[in-house]
Amino acid sequence: MGKPTGFMDFKRELPPDRQPLDRINDWNEFHEHFSDDKQQTQGARCMDCGIPFCHTGLLIKGAASGCPINNLIPEWNDLIYRGRWKEAWERLKKTNNFPEFTGRVCPAPCEGACTVGINEPQVTIKNNEVYIIDKAWEEGWVNPQPPKVRSGKKVAVIGSGPSGLACADQLNKAGHTVTVYERADRTGGLLMYGIPNMKLDKNVVQRRVDLMAAEGVTFVTSCEVGKDLPAAKVKAENDAIVLCGGATKPRDLPIEGRALPGVYFAMEFLKANTKSLLDSQLADGNAISAKGKDVLVIGGGDTGTDCVGTSIRHGCKSVNQIEIMPRPVEQRAATNPWPEWPFVLKTDYGQEESIALYGKDPRTYLTTAKKFVSDEQGNLKEVHTIEVKWEKNDKGAMIPVEQPGTEKVWPAQLVLLAMGFLGPEDTVLADLGVARDPRSNAQAEHDKHTTNLSGIFAAGDMRRGQSLVVWAINEGRAAARECDRFLMGETQLP
């Protein structure tokens, strides 16, 4: 696939992002595009490897290796190389309902498993993908294609994040009448309110929602099933229900001073910011502002990075990020060989912006917060931390052990807790009586997605716990397939 010697003839190259000191002045996406010919050169690097691990979607040691939705990567890389853009789009959409989402926000497990990556920089798979879909939209190839025949069956999809949208899209293609319920005022779940605009422009989300609506999917917003609308009513009015409500219960940090004004969950901060941005360009004052404040982000993942980038755009005085885990290594360790996901240090856009603006990486590792302290008026003033070391306890489990003498005080008027999520909220699961697994998720087997209740399925983070957008799409597609089989006795959905 591609040019047989392309990986030797051409070097990996990505289009330069907008300069950090420029992009922090707006909320626009910071990624740029190459020209067609430069993108074709990158497609040429996809070698004829024979065994393309990039599209396997394996789980190795609990992490994805290759694409979980089994994108036919070598095939559309070859079509890119040959300049056959529309055919590349036709091939891409066979497996991915929303490549404009994954091409922007996926961490690219496909690239971690790329065969070229054994001893050379891997193929720019993620960038190739987003180029295809953006070109398809620009050329007018993406148009409504409503089903020619309706089945007469009605399905409710609860939650409009990536799993819910993928599930609804597939079920609608199968001819069922689909209604998607979303508790927020806009459709998209974490795609709309959990990921900042500079990483995923909300017009990109909305145009896909509008396309699905034009194909016959009904979206009901500002409606929380189990609260605003009884789950029993939804069940009575539909032939099946698919639960795609996400894992939105955040991990808390119950230490001294937790209730002080100025300590927020990351999603409170990010959602309020995006909603205010979309409603009024932040003029309504409804965002939680970091302007002029010392900000401390607790947590080192993608959500923490988004908090850093958002705080900088607000005009914060300073921003720091603490992480209880060790600093990742620069290169793959011997214990982390290809095609496993490479657990290596990544400097993301928020850290790049902090380095450009403040002259330093905001991250501090092996550190945990001990207490939040207020000033005389009762407002957050500072955070006390201590360093930790990971050691085995008497049961052989690795635990963080505090290191005396490493205490530190950080000035902070805004703390953002970005420590992950514990599982789904209780509302709709409790209202329906859906059984839970030991981690509190909806109990349903992967690739089957059936719950303990007939006709009720579960997918995405609500079933598997906090995960990637690409896994949510995988699960939404699979749940749609099994729901269709339940409704019709057989299915032609992949």
Helix then strand count (H, E) for the chain reads 18, 18
**Quick one: pLDDT at residue 228?**
96
**Whole-prediction pTM value?**
0.96
| Burial status of residue 108 (CB atoms within 10 A of its CB: 0-12, 13-18, 19 or more) | buried
Whether the Cβ atoms of residue 422 and residue 247 lie closer than 8 Å to each other: yes
CA distances (Å), origin 308, targets 84, 279, 299, 319? 40, 22, 11, 7
Classify strands 398-402 and 408-411 as parallel, antiparallel or unpaired: unpaired
Q: Across the beta sheet with 218-220, what order do the strands follow?
A: 218-220, 177-181, 154-158, 240-243, 456-458
CA distances (Å), origin 177, targets 147, 152, 157, 238, 479? 10, 7, 11, 9, 16
Q: Which of 442, 452, 435, 432 is nearest to 163 (CA)?
A: 442
- Contacts of residue 421, defined as CB under 8 A and 6 or more positions apart, other chains included, come to 247, 248, 249, 250, 251, 461, 465, 466
Q: Which of 202, 66, 36 is nearest to 132 (CA)?
A: 36
What separation, in Å, do the N-terminal and C-terminal C-alpha atoms of the chain show? 24
Q: Which residue has the tokens 């928020």?
A: 350
Beta bridge partners, 243, equal 158, 458
Task: For residues 196 and 410, give the distance between their C-alpha atoms in angstroms, rounded to a whole number.
Answer: 26
Rg (CA), the chain: 23
Give start and end residues of each alpha helix (H) in 113-259.
125-139, 162-173, 190-193, 202-214, 231-237
**pLDDT tens digits in sequence order for the chain, 494 residues long:** 678 899 999 999 999 999 999 999 999 999 999 999 999 999 999 987 888 999 999 999 989 999 999 999 999 999 999 999 999 999 999 999 999 999 999 999 999 999 999 989 999 999 999 999 999 999 999 999 999 999 999 999 999 999 999 999 999 999 999 999 999 999 999 999 999 999 999 999 999 999 999 999 999 999 999 999 999 999 999 999 999 999 999 999 999 999 999 999 999 999 999 999 999 999 999 999 999 999 999 999 999 999 999 999 999 999 999 999 999 999 999 999 999 999 999 999 999 999 999 999 999 999 999 999 999 999 999 999 999 999 999 999 999 999 999 999 999 999 999 999 999 999 999 999 999 999 999 999 999 999 999 999 999 999 999 999 999 999 999 999 999 999 999 999 99
Task: For residues 420 and 442, give the distance between their C-alpha atoms in angstroms, rounded to a whole number.
Answer: 18
Beta bridge partners, 229, equal 225
CA distances (Å), origin 394, targets 19, 326, 387, 399, 401? 50, 21, 21, 10, 13
| Burial status of residue 394 (CB atoms within 10 A of its CB: 0-12, 13-18, 19 or more) | exposed
Give start and end residues of each alpha helix (H) in 370-460.
427-432
Task: For residues 155 and 239, give the distance between their C-alpha atoms in angstroms, rounded to a whole number.
Answer: 6
- Contacts of residue 361, defined as CB under 8 A and 6 or more positions apart, other chains included, come to 347, 351, 354, 355
**Residue 219 identity:** F
Task: For residues 189 and 248, give the distance between their C-alpha atoms in angstroms, rounded to a whole number.
Answer: 10
CA distances (Å), origin 111, targets 38, 46, 102, 146, 329? 19, 11, 13, 34, 18
Whether the Cβ atoms of residue 384 and residue 255 lie closer than 8 Å to each other: no
162-173 vs 469-488: helix crossing angle, rounded to 10: 30
SS3 21: helix
Residue 201 burial (CB count, 10 A): 17
Q: Which of 319, 165, 296 is nearest to 242 (CA)?
A: 165
The tokens for 260 are 């002080």
Q: Which residue has the tokens 């607000």?
A: 314
Residue 217 burial (CB count, 10 A): 23
Instruction: Return phi, psi of residue 93, to 5°.
Output: -75, -10
Q: What structural domains does the chain harbor?
A: 6-139 (1.10.1060.10), 154-248+422-488 (3.50.50.60), 252-419 (3.50.50.60)
Task: For residues 431 and 426, give the distance between their C-alpha atoms in angstroms, rounded to a whole number.
Answer: 8
**Quick one: pLDDT at residue 1?**
64
Task: For residues 299 and 417, give the distance between their C-alpha atoms in angstroms, rounded to a whole number.
Answer: 7
